[in-house]
Amino acid sequence: MKTTIFSTHKFEEPYLVKANNGKHQLKLLESRLTEETAILATGSKTVSLFTGDDASSKVLEKLNALGVKHLVLRSAGFNHVDLKKASELGIKVARVPAYSPYAIAEHTMALILALNRKLIKAHNRVREQNFSLNGLTGFDLNGKTVGVIGTGKIGSVLVKILHGFGCKILAQDVIEDQNLINSYNVIYTNCETICKQSDIISLHVPLTATTKHLIDKEHIALMKPGVMLINTGRGRLVDTKAVIVGLKTKKIGYFGIDVYEEEEGLFFEDHSNDILQDDVIARLMTFNNVLITSHQAFLTETALANIAETTIYNLDCFEKQILSGNEVTIE
């Protein structure tokens, strides 16, 4: 099946080509899908998207006018797709529901450890032959309280890792996982209690109308002074401007993110020769207790192979007009 793949990154191309094994006619484009670039899908019945692509109402109308019938997402998250509009236009959407929750949970842990033990600062110092330890003091994770918001596939893996570190785990989810309660002593509570009692808070819920700015000024006010806040979920789960105030007042002691509210058009791209236009991320980058990675938590060999294989499987199913089980529909 003829498919235009938007936002093809160098790191995923070999995995896609291998999984496809010549089956489908893939048009691999580096361009992001936007209103302006939608025209590049001409001739394809199927379009494949990454998280930074724009599948809002206007873009979907353009794709529909070109005869596009299917969207195949190379991600678990689907907040960048206007599902209502897609349904109205009869455009079917499929995603990769799970490719490696370990990849994201492990990266979350890497952010926690790097921030706590000040690894970036230590590394930079040693490279400059500064072997002093002043200012590098961390804290034992053992015995600390960690609030995990969202205990689905990724959150539950993180719980298991944190349990291994000897942390006490508070959690919030609309569905309580009995196995996590029984095997890892997880205590389910509400977001307010998590904010009040946690030394570290990590976000693993999808971005929806309900979860947008879940961490806002009011929730930050409830947090322990010096709390560590980690977001590898979606940027808009957090009100970044409120976090900046929290960092300036030292209410937030550490902020680790792999996702950012305005990451579209910024993350995944080399802007090293550009003037940074986004003043909010520019301010975040000035704090020495902020660690930012540009949406790379998923970036492991296992995850890339699984994403490519499921994407090709979803194409197979659309071509044969059979259900893949990976369809995304409006709840």
Our finding on whether 96 is near ligand NAI (CB under 6 A) is no
- If binding is defined by CB under 6 A, does position 233 make contact with ligand NAI? yes
Q: Write out the two tokens for 262.
A: 């305005």
Spatial neighbors of 241 by CB under 8 A, at least 6 apart, are 280
Task: Decide if residue 172 touches ligand NAI (CB under 6 A).
Answer: yes
Sheet holding 46-49, edge to edge: 25-28, 2-5, 46-49, 70-73, 92-94
Of 173, 199, 239, 261, the one binding ligand NAI (CB under 6 A) is 173
Among all residues, which ones are annotated catalytic?
234, 263, 295
Number of residues that bind ligand NAI (CB under 6 A): 29
* Sole binder of ligand NAI in the list 258, 267, 291, 318 (CB under 6 A): 258
- Structure tokens given for 193: 């209690």
| Of residues 13 and 106, the one with the C-beta less far from ligand NAI | 106
Helix runs in the chain, H state only: 13-20, 57-65, 83-89, 101-116, 119-127, 153-164, 178-184, 191-197, 217-222, 240-248, 279-284, 301-320
Q: Which is nearer to ligand NAI, 309 or 319 (CB)?
A: 309
> Among residues 33, 81, 146, 154, which is the contact residue for ligand NAI, using CB under 6 A?
154
Binding to ligand NAI by residue 205, rule CB under 6 A? Answer: yes
Binding of ligand NAI by 152 (CB under 6 A): yes
Q: Which of 234, 228, 267, 275 is nearest to 251 (CA)?
A: 228
Site stretch for ligand NAI (CB under 6 A), options 10-18, 83-91, 97-105, 280-288:
97-105
Q: Between 207 and 243, whose beta carbon lies closer to ligand NAI?
A: 207
Which of 3, 211, 311, 326 touches ligand NAI (CB under 6 A)?
Answer: 211
Q: Using the rule CB under 6 A, is 329 a contact of ligand NAI?
A: no
CB of 299 to ligand NAI, least distance (A): 7
Query: Which residues lie closer than 8 Å to 300 by C-beta, 6 or more apart?
Result: 100, 102, 103, 106
Q: By CB under 6 A, is residue 312 in contact with ligand NAI?
A: no
CA distance 278 to 272: 14
Contact status, residue 52 vs residue 261, Cβ threshold 8 Å: no
Residues contacting residue 112 through CB under 8 Å, at least 6 positions apart:
141, 200, 202, 228, 230, 256
CA 18, distance to chain mean position in Å, is 25
Shortest Å distance, C-beta 141 to ligand NAI: 21
Judged by the rule CB under 6 A, the positions of this chain that interact with ligand NAI are 76-77, 98, 101, 104, 150-155, 172-175, 204-207, 210-211, 232-234, 258-259, 295, 297-298
